[in-house]
Amino acid sequence: MFNSIMMFNFEDRILPMNIRPRRNRKSAAIRSMVEETKIGAEHLIYPIFLKDGLNIKEEIGSLPKNFRWSLDLLIPEIEECLKLGISTFDIFPAVDEHLKDKIASYSYSNDNFYLNAIRKLKETFPEMVIMTDAAMDPYSSDGHDGLVDNGKILNDQTLPILNKMALAQAQAGADIIGPSDMMDGRVESIRETLDINGYTDVSIMSYTAKYASAFYGPFRDALNSAPKSGDKKTYQMNPANKREALLEAELDVMEGADMIMVKPALCYLDVIHVLKENFNIPVTAYNVSGECAMVYAAAEKGWLNYNLAISEMLLSMRRAGADGILTYFAKDFAQLLKK
């Protein structure tokens, strides 16, 4: 029996199959030729944290390889990223506590370091695309995205504050406003404010399906912007809901959004896909801080290959339908592409 097995000629076992999918996987060149999903540096948006002062580069403990930058050190970092092919940056301000109040008034103040930094960056790098965040939480003493009164988030009373904030950002040179607050009607309100003041070319990338997620912790550490009380579940979406994202997207498109976003990305690939299938404007995904922190931690322990893991994660978001991806992996992935 043993000898008969050893003498069996496996080359004789050619099965009559006309369709063999492996033929399209037989070499790197063919795999590349038939690759369905492509991702490049042009698809990346790099979130960056800005802090007032000089000579500041503070690593964020819960988000390794990411920093709070002062403008003087951020400028050469931006220049390096531009050379790697990253052209779009989402800049978030880390605001000192003494500048925060209930109405986020510092967000549109003339001496706001964040607005002045945007002006300087646009003067230095006119080719870069600057996206800004329109929400109260970085500037609010309550740490919420909307105006708080007796523990309740006031939707309609928040909109005028967001209007002032968005207009100030546009005046400073922002190319894209990103309303991340999840207040009802804020896209239309901001669009009307921008248009009335002559900023018809400034885009709105709405945080359309922003879920009340457990994956925002490192971001809140970076900006010290966690809610002082309560949570954000009355305005951010329930992670259990997908059809609700279609309603939010329909409203944002009707109100004038130029792009719609899903946040987070990794646990919501199905939501990215359903929005891409149902709307004819660009869909972006935010690969949020907690999603990235997990990979940093696992790679540090040797449990994951960092380069392979980030490549697969970002590719999955593109495959789901994301036209652009906000990710803290942007610079590392762009460097990989260069290699």
State the catalytic residues: 210, 263
> Any idea what DSSP says for residue 19?
-
Helix ranges, 34-127 (H): 71-83, 113-124
Mapped onto helix, strand or coil, the DSSP state of residue 1 is coil
> Alpha-carbon distance 46 to 33, whole Å?
28
Cα of 276 vs its chain's centroid, Å: 16
Residue 224: which residues within 8 A CB-CB, separation 6 or more? 94, 97
For helices 306-320 and 269-278, angle between their N-to-C axes, nearest 10 degrees: 30
Contact status, residue 84 vs residue 334, Cβ threshold 8 Å: yes
The candidate with the shortest Cα–Cα distance to 335, out of 86, 91, 60, is: 86
Phi and psi at 205, nearest 5°, equal: -105, 100
Contact status, residue 49 vs residue 92, Cβ threshold 8 Å: yes
> Alpha-carbon distance 140 to 225, whole Å?
8
Contact status, residue 205 vs residue 173, Cβ threshold 8 Å: no
> Alpha-carbon distance 14 to 187, whole Å?
62
256: amino acid identity, one letter = G
> Alpha-carbon distance 118 to 99, whole Å?
19
Contact status, residue 50 vs residue 91, Cβ threshold 8 Å: yes
